[in-house]
Amino acid sequence: MTHSILRIDASARAQGSVTRDLTGRIAALWPAAHVRHRDLAADPLPHLTEDWVSANFTPEANRTATQAKALALSDSLIDELRAADKLVIGLPVYNFGVPSALKAWIDHVARAGVTFRYTETGPEGLLTGKRAILAMASGGTQAGAEIDYASTYMRHILGFVGITDVTVVAADQLALDADASLARALDQIGELQAA
């Protein structure tokens, strides 16, 4: 089976980024895969506007050409997401949360009626059957700790749109012992390869 990977990088650092290194290593585990690389720092997405919100809440059949144009980028990002069977997402922790560049991507792809829907029993994600691997790096925040609003949020939002198979490769608390943290992350990548 040929895999289709959507690799997303969000680190503001073009050079010396731990998450960029990790996402590259993880994507390379499937050398025959088709990899679509989206660099949210080098090519940032616009934040949502009133025109976008208005278009999004207008039924598709009733949208004007201007409204369709307002959603065109979002539609394209969702198409990329749908086409991938694996997501490899760089997750640098900025001030205990996700970078604003990654949050903008989330805002474009988490759309009611498109990637999730509300039912009588609650919300239902529509992007099922995918695997996500988060390459997390932090200075002092421990992955999964009470103050980790990055990986816990990403697990939640991915699950909300139907992606429940989520693995975190954590190079966390780099400020405390960078060498040991990176070694643990590389071990985790090795375990991914074995799985």
Measured at the CA of 162, the angle between CA 157 and CA 163, to 5 degrees, comes to 75
In this prediction, residue 1 has a pLDDT band, given cuts at 50, 70 and 90, of low
- In 18-115, the DSSP E strands lie at 34-39, 86-92
Residue 44 pairs in a beta bridge with none
pLDDT band at 193 (very low <50, low <70, confident <90, very high): confident
Helix (H) or strand (E) segment spanning residue 169: strand 165-171
Segment 122-177, tens digit of pLDDT: 999 999 999 999 999 999 999 999 999 999 999 999 999 999 999 999 999 999 99
Task: Report percent pLDDT > 70 for the chain.
Answer: 98
Q: With cut-offs at 50, 70 and 90, classify the pLDDT of residue 36.
A: very high
CA dist., res. 171 & res. 142, Å (int): 9
Q: Structure tokens of 110?
A: 């988490």
Q: Does the pLDDT value for residue 194 go beyond 80?
A: no
Q: Could you read off the pLDDT of 56-67 as tens digits, one per residue?
A: 999 999 999 999
DSSP conformational letter for 45: P
DSSP type of residue 130: -
* Integer Cα distance of 102 and 89 in angstroms: 9
Identity of the residue numbered 119: T
Contact present, 168 and 143 (Cβ < 8 Å): yes
Indicate whether this model's pTM tops 0.75. Answer: yes
Write out the binding residues.
11
At residue 148, the 3 state secondary structure works out as coil
For tokens 């959603």, the residue is 71
Of 61 and 193, the structure prediction assigns the larger pLDDT to 61
Phi, psi of 160 (to 5 degrees): -60, -35
Task: Kindly tell me if the per-residue pLDDT of 195 is higher than 70.
Answer: no
> Where does the pLDDT of residue 2 fall: very low under 50, low under 70, confident under 90, or very high at 90 and above?
confident
pLDDT digits (tens, 9 = 90+) for 7-25: 999 999 999 999 999 999 9
Q: Would you kindly state where each structural domain of the chain is located, as residue ranges?
A: 4-194
Q: Is the CB of residue 163 less than 8 Å from the CB of residue 130? A: yes
Q: Are strands 34-39 and 116-119 parallel, antiparallel or unpaired?
A: unpaired
* Residues flagged as binding site for FMN: 11
- Tell me the C-alpha distance between 82 and 155, whole Å: 18
CATH 3.40.50.360 fits 4-194, yes or no: yes
